[in-house]
């Protein structure tokens, strides 16, 4: 250690540590610009100069190493004058107008000018005349605002080891760019965005941060996959483990937030992929398939026995409904030490994962395998148990959770909706799952365009329907079903009719078909009523002997249950607490917000567990660390043609082999592709490891105390 004196203040610091860093850490501000604590020094800006007792002239404090007995002065008239000169040089090629800069109010150069009391404000600026580069994904480069501090170049070369950004020269003007001014993708950029993170001006900016008009927290914009996942699964962290072939660790990361990774790896609606920044470069990461692979390979070695299990609290909770929301809530409530019982009306646990989603998408043994792990925590399970009065349960339980899902299908009020041969989505899918007679004929018409409609269509096909037609109000590009679902259904021979209004179901006693009209436009008014504009003379008829309404579903509950109900027969809950109109009775999942996705139900189940635990006197902290906490290596290195690497595709059984049976049809990505696919990740979270700048404003109060 060395004793260093800065402005009369004695500091004990490690010998050879940079004097600028020693000062900043001690709360003594020295102006600086090219220095960044995570980057090697280049001492180019000379803003950080100081005087050292016994040394002639001035020296940059960023490269000055601490020595025992060294005495440093950071303020003097000479230093102020020389810093003004240095600032003028920096500003010589920088535009005068800050107000149009995307970093306005957030620019290190701007705060430096403020610290210097407006020095350099009267000087004549030289216009560089560079064209702003907006053609690259994720980043905008405006070299007119560059002060050549070189932070971006060092971040790209020394911090990341990528080497895309270099100093270039054109018409006697030095600038930062790529060799031969190639596009970033052609210069093997890895789009980690470290350059924009360390840039102290508005020269290199993150397009998504610039577009963040609703001021989302930075972490959400920088790592959008994690923010988009309703359960906030740490996607970049588990993908990094997959890349290293550490599948057990990856599965443990996923399990920190979701109790059934295998199921979600097969049927999650992967909202994370729609936000994945790799999609701006070429194709989004195959996140769901990566999750599936890790979950399938998992031996449990990392997470088993490691999760939280608090001692018994003496409190009893009844969860009504064994779907994803109920299972999740039960799991975390048990871990909080409560005695939990799940009461399920159907013969097995799983809810819509077993009685809605068809088996060819999610094999039942996967659900039951994952429920066994949940049950092993000590949860009691009662199947074939319908609860009529949740209020009555309060005698035996300290809290009750209504996680009953939306098991009642709804029909539309159109002519013919009561004819024989008219079925409802949920009932049809439930009967098919239970291998019961569904009552479909040979020509089936599905009304609706969401994922449930496609489940009905593809199930009907597999049950032997010769013709399956699917019609919906929405135009093709507005259909709510996932694109892969639509394309796979078409491959299986299902005929799709988007933008159709359902005029009437024809037939005397039983269905003979449906009359449609073409829809020109369709929207909901303020009262959520559909406003449909139809094309005159566009009437058409499709023959059929079965019609399945797949136009929505509702919770199977009436007011007799004694709970206040809201729109769509959903259970009304108090804001934030998820408590219903009845004290001690909570609700979660689809039963609260209408039919959504399994991952949303997981998120809702977690929320319910937090609220119920708090209600029962716990701290509501259900978080768990199951995987090792390791700092990711930011030196990602060069990778030729990185931006062009293609997304790995799943192995799907051919349409003719899958359309007449309920066997698994998607085998996910293969072992040969998995690490390569994980290697395509931009590792956006690495950027959050970069130390934020220390601005003069952060020191104001502290400096006055010190000086």
Please tell me the total number of residues recorded for the chain in this structure.
Answer: 707
d(CA 480, CA 495): 17
Does 58 bind ligand FES (CB under 6 A)? Our answer is no
Q: Nearer to ligand FES by C-beta: 35 or 534?
A: 35
Q: How far is the CB of 72 from ligand FES (least distance, A)?
A: 13
Taking residue 605's Cβ as centre, other Cβ atoms within 10 Å add up to 29
Stretch that binds ligand FES, among 46-54, 248-256, 453-461, 639-647 (CB under 6 A): 46-54
Closest CA to 669 of 650, 654, 652: 650
Smallest distance from the beta carbon of 148 to ligand FES, in angstroms? 11
Shortest distance (Å) from residue 53 CB to ligand FES: 19
33 lines the binding site for ligand FES (CB under 6 A): yes
Does residue 83 interact with ligand FES by CB under 6 A? no
The residue (of 46 and 160) whose beta carbon lies closer to ligand FES is: 46
Count Cβ atoms below 10 Å from residue 400 Cβ, excluding itself.
Answer: 25
Tell me how far apart the alpha carbons of residues 643 and 189 are, in angstroms, rounded to a whole number: 7
562 DSSP 8-state letter? S
Measured in whole angstroms, the distance separating CA 479 from the mean position of its chain's CA atoms is 22
CA distance 417 to 129: 69
Contact segment (CB under 6 A) with ligand FES among 43-51, 351-359, 465-473, 671-679 equals 43-51
Q: What is the crossing angle of helices 671-678 and 287-297, to 10°?
A: 120
Considering the complex, state which of residue 60 and residue 409 has its C-beta at the smaller distance from ligand FES. 60
Rounded CA separation 604/662 (Å): 30
257 lines the binding site for ligand FES (CB under 6 A): no
Residue 46, interface with ligand FES (CB under 6 A)?
Answer: yes
Residue 160 Cβ, how far from ligand FES at the closest point, in Å?
21
CB nearer to ligand FES: pick between 44 and 269: 44
**N-terminal to C-terminal alpha carbon distance within the chain:** 24
Q: How far is the CB of 214 from ligand FES (least distance, A)?
A: 35
**Which member of 22, 28, 39, 47 binds ligand FES (CB under 6 A)?**
47
Q: Which stretch binds ligand FES (CB under 6 A): 40-48, 126-134, 250-258, 520-528?
A: 40-48
Q: Interface with ligand FES by CB under 6 A: which range of 37-45, 132-140, 280-288, 303-311?
A: 37-45
Residue 519, sorted as left (phi over 0), alpha (psi -120 to 50) or beta, turns out to be beta
36 binds ligand FES (CB under 6 A): no
Residue 543, phi then psi, degrees to nearest 5: -75, 145
The token pair that represents 595 in the structure block: 């039919």
Using CB under 6 A as the binding rule, whether residue 45 contacts ligand FES is answered as yes
CB of 35 to ligand FES, least distance (A): 3
Closest to ligand FES by CB, 35 or 207? 35
d(CA 622, CA 635) in angstroms, rounded, equals 34
62 binds ligand FES (CB under 6 A): yes
Q: Min. distance of Cβ 275 from ligand FES in angstroms?
A: 37
For ligand FES, the closer of residues 111 and 270 by Cβ is: 111
Task: Identify the CA nearest to 349 among candidates 373, 313, 316.
Answer: 373
CA-CA-CA-CA torsion sign (452, 327, 239, 271): positive
Contact 339, 249 (CB under 8 A): no
When asked if residue 35 is in the footprint of ligand FES (CB under 6 A), the reply is yes
- The helix/strand/coil state of 65 is strand
If the CB atoms of residues 147 and 603 are measured against ligand FES, the closer one turns out to be 147
Piece of the chain touching ligand FES by CB under 6 A; list 39-47, 256-264, 279-287, 436-444: 39-47
Based on CB atoms, which residue is closest to ligand FES, 48 or 473? 48
Burial of residue 691 (number of CB atoms within 10 Å: 0-12, 13-18, 19+): exposed
- Does position 48 interact with ligand FES (CB under 6 A)? The reply is yes
If residue 533 lies in a helix (H) or strand (E), which one and from where to where? strand 530-534
Dihedral-angle region of residue 92 (phi above 0 means left; psi in -120 to 50 means alpha; beta otherwise):
alpha
Q: Give 44 or 451: the residue with its C-beta nearer to ligand FES.
A: 44
Single out the residue of 47, 75, 79, 78 nearest to residue 60, CA to CA: 47
Task: Pick the piece of the chain touching ligand FES (CB under 6 A) from 38-46, 259-267, 610-618, 624-632.
Answer: 38-46
Contact between 43 and ligand FES per CB under 6 A: yes
Tokens, residue 157: 């070369």
* Number of residues this chain uses to bind ligand FES (CB under 6 A): 12
| Residue number with CB closer to ligand FES (37 or 650) | 37
Query: If binding is defined by CB under 6 A, does position 350 make contact with ligand FES?
Result: no
H or E element: which one contains 294?
Answer: helix 287-297
**Which listed residue (13, 24, 34, 156) binds ligand FES by CB under 6 A?**
34
Least CB distance from residue 45 to ligand FES, whole Å? 3
3-state SS of 153-199? HHHHHHHCCCCCCEEEEECCEEEEECHHHCCHHHHCCCCCCHHHHHC
Nearest CB to ligand FES, comparing residues 48 and 496 = 48
Q: Does residue 72 bind ligand FES (CB under 6 A)?
A: no
Separation of alpha carbons 232 and 111, rounded Å: 35
Which of 6, 4, 29, 27 lies closest to 14, judged by CA?
4
CA distance linking residue 536 with residue 420, whole number of Å: 30
Q: Report how far residue 140's alpha carbon sits from residue 134's, in angstroms, rounded to the nearest whole number.
A: 5
| Residues in region 442-471 near ligand FES by CB under 6 A | none
Residue 33 Cβ, how far from ligand FES at the closest point, in Å?
5
**Which is closer to ligand FES, CB of 33 or CB of 379?**
33
Contact between 60 and ligand FES by CB under 6 A: the answer reads yes
Q: Tell the smallest beta-carbon distance from residue 291 to ligand FES (Å).
A: 44
Q: Given its phi and psi angles, is residue 245 left (phi above 0), alpha (psi -120 to 50 degrees) or beta?
A: left
Using CB under 6 A, pick the residue from 6, 32, 51, 302 that binds ligand FES.
Answer: 32
- Residue range at the interface with ligand FES (CB under 6 A); choices 41-49, 559-567, 639-647, 652-660: 41-49
- The residues binding ligand FES (CB under 6 A) are 32-35, 43-48, 60, 62
């Amino acid at each position: 250690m060395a004793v260093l004196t800065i402005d009369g203040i004695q500091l004990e610091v490690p010998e050879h540590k940079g004097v600028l860093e020693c000062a900043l850490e001690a709360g003594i501000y020295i102006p600086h610009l090219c220095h960044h604590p995570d980057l090697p020094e280049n001492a180019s800006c000379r803003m950080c100069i100081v005087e050292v007792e016994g040394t002639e002239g001035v020296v940059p404090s960023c490269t000055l190493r601490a020595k025992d007995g060294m005495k440093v002065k950071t303020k003097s008239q000479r230093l102020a004058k020389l810093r003004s000169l240095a600032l003028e040089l920096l500003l010589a090629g920088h535009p005068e107008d800050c107000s149009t800069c995307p970093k306005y109010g957030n620019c290190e150069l701007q705060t430096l000018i403020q610290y210097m009391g407006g020095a350099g404000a009267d000087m004549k600026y030289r216009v560089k005349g560079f064209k702003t580069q907006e053609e690259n994904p994720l980043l905008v480069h405006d070299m007119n605002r560059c002060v050549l501090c070189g932070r971006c170049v060092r971040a790209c070369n020394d911090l990341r080891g990528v080497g895309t950004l270099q100093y270039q020269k054109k018409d006697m003007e030095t600038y930062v760019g790529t060799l031969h001014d190639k596009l970033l993708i052609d210069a093997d950029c890895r789009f980690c965005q470290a350059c924009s993170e360390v840039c102290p001006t508005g020269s290199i900016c993150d397009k998504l941060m610039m577009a963040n008009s609703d001021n989302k927290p930075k972490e959400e914009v920088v790592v959008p996959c994690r923010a988009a996942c309703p359960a906030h699964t740490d996607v970049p962290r588990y993908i990094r483990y997959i890349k290293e072939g550490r599948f057990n660790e990856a599965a443990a990361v996923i399990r920190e937030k979701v109790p059934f990774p295998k199921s979600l790896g097969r049927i999650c609606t992967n909202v994370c992929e729609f936000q994945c920044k790799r999609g701006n470069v070429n194709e989004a990461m195959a996140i769901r398939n990566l999750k599936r692979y890790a979950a399938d390979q998992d031996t449990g070695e990392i997470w088993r026995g490691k999760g939280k299990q608090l001692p018994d609290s003496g409190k009893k909770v009844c969860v009504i409904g064994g779907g994803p929301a109920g299972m999740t809530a039960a799991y975390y409530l048990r871990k909080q030490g409560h005695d939990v019982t799940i009461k399920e009306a159907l013969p097995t646990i799983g809810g819509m994962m077993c009685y809605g989603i068809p088996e060819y998408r999610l094999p039942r043994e996967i659900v039951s395998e994952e429920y066994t792990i949940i049950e092993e925590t000590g949860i009691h399970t009662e199947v074939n148990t319908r609860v009529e009065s949740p209020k009555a349960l309060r005698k035996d339980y300290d809290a009750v959770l209504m996680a009953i899902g939306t098991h009642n299908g709804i029909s539309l009020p159109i002519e013919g909706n009561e004819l024989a041969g008219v079925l409802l989505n949920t009932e049809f899918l439930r009967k098919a799952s239970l291998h019961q007679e569904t009552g479909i004929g040979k020509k089936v018409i599905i009304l609706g365009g969401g994922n449930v409609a496609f489940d009905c269509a593809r199930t009907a096909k597999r049950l032997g329907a010769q013709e399956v037609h699917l019609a919906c109000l929405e135009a093709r590009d507005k259909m709510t079903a996932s694109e892969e679902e639509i394309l796979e259904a078409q491959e299986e021979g299902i005929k799709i009719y988007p933008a159709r209004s359902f005029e009437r179901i024809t037939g005397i006693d039983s269905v003979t078909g449906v009359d449609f009209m073409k829809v020109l436009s369709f929207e909901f008014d303020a009262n959520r009523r559909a406003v449909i504009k139809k094309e005159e003379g566009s009437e058409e008829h499709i023959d059929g002997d079965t019609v399945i309404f797949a136009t929505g579903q509702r919770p199977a509950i009436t007011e007799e249950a004694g709970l206040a109900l809201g729109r769509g027969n959903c259970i009304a809950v108090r804001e934030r607490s998820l408590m219903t109109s009845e004290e001690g009775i909570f609700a979660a999942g689809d039963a609260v917000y209408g039919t959504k996705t399994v991952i949303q139900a997981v998120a809702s189940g977690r929320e319910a567990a937090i609220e119920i635990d708090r209600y029962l006197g716990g701290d509501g902290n259900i978080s768990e660390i199951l995987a090792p906490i390791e700092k990711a290596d930011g030196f990602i290195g060069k990778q030729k043609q990185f931006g062009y690497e293609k997304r790995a595709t799943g192995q799907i059984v051919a349409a003719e082999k899958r359309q007449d049976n309920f066997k698994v049809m998607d085998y996910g990505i293969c072992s040969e592709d998995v690490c390569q696919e994980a290697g395509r990740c931009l590792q956006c979270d690495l950027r959050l490891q970069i130390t934020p700048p220390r601005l003069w404003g952060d020191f104001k109060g502290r400096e006055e105390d010190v000086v």
